[in-house]
Amino acid sequence: MSRSVWKGPFVDGFLLKKAEKVRDSGRNEVIKIWSRRSTILPQFVGLTFGVHNGHKHVPVMVNENMIGHKFGEFAPSRMFSGHTPGDKKASPTPAAAPAKK
Amino acid sequence: MSAQTDSAKRVCLGVIVGAKGLKGEVRIKSFTASPEDIGTYGELTSEDGSRQFKLKATGFQKGAVIGRISGVTDRAAADRLKGERLYVTRDALPEADEGTFYYADLIGLSVETVDGVPVGRVRAVDNFGGGDILDVERPGQSSVLVPFAEGIVAGVDMKAGVVRIIPVPGLLDDGGNETNDGGDETTDDPAAKTKADG
């Protein structure tokens, strides 16, 4: 059963404080978190979180498409990379514009 | 695992995992971004380069590409190819756009900060949905994950074989306990809480 709408999205309080602190400072920083259960909120867009996967912190750059998902979805705890695709390309992800307050 | 052999600049695009049917078709585990593309980069070669394969992908079944290799006409011949890894030369892949890099090219590059401090070497490139991530192995330390993103990666010098990164706070320190931000409620590290309790 899905979460009742009247409760609003779940997010750990300390996470909000950490994110707000980094946003206010304006520094580019990886915010280390262990709270995989927290929902990604619009005010997290543009920030980089290091989400713990039980072993290390997986960097997650939050963009608009991630809003509503949980942090844990982007840091798999059972990691099997398999074979690297031979013809797959990567380009530096442009920094997402932070959400307006 | 790297898709690239260091010596000959060849890229492994797949491996033959078995035969399909009686007419010489083979099942191939494809390592390309889109599995069906394995036959589109020209002639494939064996691992030692001694054999050439002209492959035509004919279908996709149960996670494997079904293909027909010219000269292979019966099941026995297809069975003999089981385990054969299929390579192309790096030059056979189309040129990447400006600012875009093949995973295979990034793997093995050394990583250093913009100040020239060496960090390690790229072991793998992953993407779990939160952007491309460089897995950087460091000598004598645990590996570290670095987002392949603007603001973190200052530049990639393919000629020098170097990825230059900006060591933003929290990026290169180990994944252990973070310093407390001023009170137990500001950290969500369960280990730190246990220590505080005990």
Q: Which residues pair with A51 in a beta bridge?
A: A33, A58
- pLDDT-derived band at B171, boundaries 50, 70, 90: confident
Q: How far is CA B172 from the centre of its chain?
A: 21
What is the mean pLDDT of the segment spanning A62-80? 91
Residue B6 carries which DSSP code? Answer: T
What is the mean pLDDT of the segment spanning A26-43? 92
CA distance B44 to chain A (A): 13
Contact B99, A91 (CB under 8 A): yes
The verdict on ipTM greater than 0.85 is no
- Give the number of C-alpha atoms closer than 13 A to the C-alpha of residue B136, restricted to the C-beta side: 29
Dist. CA B115–CA B157, nearest whole Å: 15
Could you give the C-alpha distances from B151 to A31, A76, B70, B132, B167, in angstroms and in order?
15, 24, 49, 14, 10
Chain segment A37-55, per-residue pLDDT in tens: 999 999 999 999 999 999 8
Q: Which residues pair with B52 in a beta bridge?
A: B45
For chain B, the helix, strand and coil percentages under 3-state DSSP, each to the nearest 5: 15, 40, 45
Q: Look at residue B189 in the predicted model and tell me its pLDDT.
A: 59
Residue type present at position B186: T
Highest mean pLDDT among A40-49, B38-47, B175-184: A40-49
- Give the number of C-alpha atoms closer than 13 A to the C-alpha of residue B59, restricted to the C-beta side: 8
pLDDT: which is higher, A88 or A82: A88
Q: Look at residue B145 in the predicted model and tell me its pLDDT.
A: 92
Q: Look at residue B105 in the predicted model and tell me its pLDDT.
A: 87
Q: Look at residue A98 in the predicted model and tell me its pLDDT.
A: 61
- pLDDT-derived band at A99, boundaries 50, 70, 90: low
- What are the residues whose beta carbons fall under 8 Å from the beta carbon of A21, sequence distance 6 or more? B181
Across the interface, of B31, B129, B144, the residue whose CB is closest to A85 is: B31
Residue B30 has pLDDT above 80, yes or no: yes
CA distance B9 to chain A (A): 12
Domains and CATH numbers, chain B: 10-92 (2.40.30.60), 100-195 (2.30.30.240)
Contact B3 A15 (CB under 8 A): no
